[in-house]
Amino acid sequence: MGKNRFDVLSGKVPDDMKELYVTLIREASTNLPKDITDKLEIQKQKEQDGSQAKKALDIIIKNIDMAYVKETPICQDTGTVIFHVHYPLGFSTLKFKNDITEAVREATRKGYLRPNAVDSITGKNSGDNTGLGLPSFYFHEWEKDYVEVKTMLKGGGSENTGIQYSLPDTRLGAGRDLKGIKKVILDSVVKAQGQGCAPGVLCVGIGGDRVSGALAAKEQVFRELDDVNPDPVLAELEKEMYEKANQLGVGPMGFGGETSLLGVKIAKLHRLPASFFVSVVYMCWAARKKTMIIKDNHYTIQ
Ligand code: SF4
């Protein structure tokens, strides 16, 4: 019997790590996580029969199912390949980088990734998804005794709808307080108007600098849709922004309806007294993310 859609893949770590990392990339590219798929199905039921919104969600869900069955990318834009790695003392980040880079090349050859790395001056495509800054790595040493590799494929259309606000924003009348934060978050949804392939997940970083705030926002993509923020103020803010954004009527692919967003996830960082950034990262419905755990010569991919 073949594997089921949401089975946890597991096994002994192979001698050739590249092979394992190709599997991780294939799963990210072709098998959308359960939390996103379930939410799309729930929202489809909420849309009116015969509406453009319901039809759009239906097509999206069929597309996701076909990609899994045929083991082909969920979307033609397989995006930026991003890895966040937590590792214990003694793990070689250099070896990881080399193995993963080879795996990205192999996954591109196999068609799980579209060649997406373009020289920003010459316009030349490297043809294998590697280049300056690509694939993208973030390494964090931790005290646990296992390695965790989180991968995300971040599509260009959704990345283009991201935005960073510097408060106060006089044009929007948004001050350096919770009210101002709410104004700019909702402004970002209105501005997107369904571009970046709605519905998706709105990820927000409050505070930090221009880089750390955006990074904190992007890391929110890895959260499960139904988790609850441990910070009660942020939990309330996530709930309120989700409800209000879905009352704006933008809808799936901008066709109108109940479903502009699948979720809102918010992080906060300390900031300088002189700066107050609100960074918004938007992740489209093709929220391709997977986590691999490697422990005691055994791996799981989920
Ligand atoms: S925004 Fe997402 S769904 Fe739309 S084309 Fe890009 S990757 Fe694909």
What pLDDT score was predicted for residue 3?
Answer: 65
Q: Is 98 in the same domain as 241?
A: no
CA distance 112 to 74: 9
Give yes or no for residue 73 having a pLDDT over 50.
yes
* Total domains present in the chain: 2
| Pair 205, 271: CB distance under 8 Å | no
CA distance 292 to 21: 9
Of the candidates 158, 177, 194, 193, the residue with the CA atom closest to the CA atom of residue 280: 158
User: Over the stretch 270-287, which tens digit does the pLDDT of each residue have?
Assistant: 999 999 999 999 999 999
**How remote is the CA of residue 92 from the centroid of ligand 1, in Å?**
33
Region 86-110 average pLDDT:
97
Percent of the chain whose pLDDT exceeds 90: 92
- Helix ranges (DSSP H) in 31-122: 34-46, 52-70, 93-109
Per-residue pLDDT band for 5 (boundaries 50, 70, 90) equals confident
| Pair 142, 86: CB distance under 8 Å | yes
- Residue 43 falls inside a structural domain: no
Atom of ligand 1 nearest to the CA of 75: 8
Q: Is 149 in the same domain as 181?
A: no
What pLDDT score was predicted for residue 179?
Answer: 98
| Pair 161, 195: CB distance under 8 Å | yes
Q: Is 111 in the same domain as 212?
A: no
Atom of ligand 1 nearest to the CA of 76: 8
* pTM of the shown model: 0.95
CA distance 302 to 10: 9
CA distance 35 to 54: 19
What pLDDT score was predicted for residue 213?
Answer: 98
Atom of ligand 1 nearest to the CA of 155: 7
- Residue 114 falls inside a structural domain: yes
Q: Is 124 in the same domain as 220?
A: no
**How remote is the CA of residue 76 from the centroid of ligand 1, in Å?**
8
Helix (H, G, I), strand (E, B) or coil at 245: helix
Q: For atom 4 of ligand 1, which residue has the closest CA?
A: 197
CA distance 254 to 247: 13
Q: Is 258 in the same domain as 179?
A: yes
- Helix ranges (DSSP H) in the chain: 17-30, 34-46, 52-70, 93-109, 156-160, 178-192, 210-219, 232-245
Give yes or no for residue 195 having a pLDDT over 90.
no
Q: Is 128 in the same domain as 164?
A: no
Of the candidates 207, 230, 227, the residue with the CA atom closest to the CA atom of residue 217: 207
| Pair 269, 216: CB distance under 8 Å | yes
What pLDDT score was predicted for residue 149?
Answer: 98
Of the candidates 220, 221, 219, 204, the residue with the CA atom closest to the CA atom of residue 162: 204
Angle of helix 178-192 relative to helix 232-245, nearest 10 degrees?
40
What pLDDT score was predicted for residue 177?
Answer: 97
Give yes or no for residue 17 having a pLDDT over 90.
yes
Of the candidates 198, 214, 197, the residue with the CA atom closest to the CA atom of residue 206: 214
| Domain of residue 252, residue span | 157-283
What pLDDT score was predicted for residue 297?
Answer: 95
Q: Is 18 in the same domain as 132?
A: yes
User: Residue 177's Cα: distance from chain center in Å?
Assistant: 27
| Structure-model confidence comparison of residues 7 and 85, the more confident one | 85
Q: Is 235 in the same domain as 91?
A: no
Mean pLDDT of the chain: 96
Angle at 122 between CA 116 and CA 124, to 5 degrees: 35
Give yes or no for residue 196 having a pLDDT over 90.
no
Angle at 206 between CA 282 and CA 201, to 5 degrees: 20
What pLDDT score was predicted for residue 2?
Answer: 56
Rg of the Cα trace of the chain?
20
**How remote is the CA of residue 75 from the centroid of ligand 1, in Å?**
6
What pLDDT score was predicted for residue 1?
Answer: 41
Of the candidates 255, 227, 253, 230, the residue with the CA atom closest to the CA atom of residue 242: 227
Q: Is 180 in the same domain as 164?
A: yes
Region 19-39 average pLDDT:
97
CA distance 228 to 235: 6
User: Over the stretch 151-193, which tens digit does the pLDDT of each residue have?
Assistant: 999 999 999 999 999 999 999 999 999 999 999 999 999 888 8
Q: Is 167 in the same domain as 255?
A: yes
**How remote is the CA of residue 98 from the centroid of ligand 1, in Å?**
28
Q: Is 92 in the same domain as 147?
A: yes
Region 62-80 average pLDDT:
96
What pLDDT score was predicted for residue 172?
Answer: 97
